[in-house]
Homo-oligomer: A and B are copies of this chain.
Amino acid sequence: MNGDFMKRAIKCSCENVKKGGGPFGAVIVKDNKIIAEGTNLVTINNDPTAHAEIVAIRNAAAYLNDFNLSGCEIYTSCEPCPMCLSAIYWARIDKIWYANTKNDAKEIGFDDSFIYDEVSKPLEERKIPIKQFLRQEGLTAFHLWTQKTDKVEY
């Protein structure tokens, strides 16, 4: 735990509001050094995936030239939403530090809780309809993958 790293993430979140973005910031740390930062750029970049943590992860991976961020920790000004939490898992980040809670976020209009609930529900109970078809055709790519001998696994 390092207060300076969290204070930097919080500073990014405050500056981002002044720039017209959402009130969220994150930094990624490796070997006790900040290697990447990110802020919520959803409305600035017209990119619904551009949450602070996603932006920081993309920047860190580009900096390290590696999709595997093991050995890194993330300091984020707010508890990650399910998209960002899952991205942290895919990136194999070691540890998560956060300041504001998802309930704090809900109180100012960012309802991550709703998505947390949806992700945990069976498919047929979800708000956005989700339907399967053409599975046999879809499996073609999986067979190609299985047969490929020089693939980069992750």
Interfacial residues, chain A to chain B (CB-CB below 8 A)? 1, 3, 6-7, 10, 13-14, 16-18, 20, 22-25, 42-43, 46-49, 51, 54, 57-58, 61-62, 64-69, 77-79, 81-83, 85-101, 104-105, 107-109, 114-116, 118-120, 128-135, 137-142, 144-146, 148, 151-154
Q: Identify the 9 closest CB pairs spanning chains A and B, nearest first.
A: A99-B138, A83-B86, A13-B141, A23-B141, A23-B145, A48-B91, A96-B130, A43-B152, A100-B138
* Closest-CB distance, A39 to chain B (whole angstroms): 10
Cα–Cα, bound, A144→B151 (Å): 48
Name which of A67, A98, A141 has the most chain B CB atoms within 10 A of its CB: A141
Contact between B98 and A49, CB atoms less than 8 A apart: no
Contact between A118 and B144, CB atoms less than 8 A apart: no
Known: A94-B128, A99-B134, A129-B96. A153 touches B109 (CB 8 A): yes
Give me 30 A-to-B residue pairs in the complex whose CB atoms sit less than 8 angstroms apart, sorted by A's number.
A1-B133, A6-B134, A7-B134, A10-B137, A13-B138, A13-B141, A14-B144, A23-B144, A42-B90, A43-B152, A46-B65, A46-B67, A47-B67, A48-B91, A48-B92, A49-B49, A49-B87, A83-B87, A85-B119, A89-B115, A89-B118, A89-B128, A94-B129, A96-B131, A97-B133, A98-B130, A99-B135, A100-B135, A100-B139, A107-B142
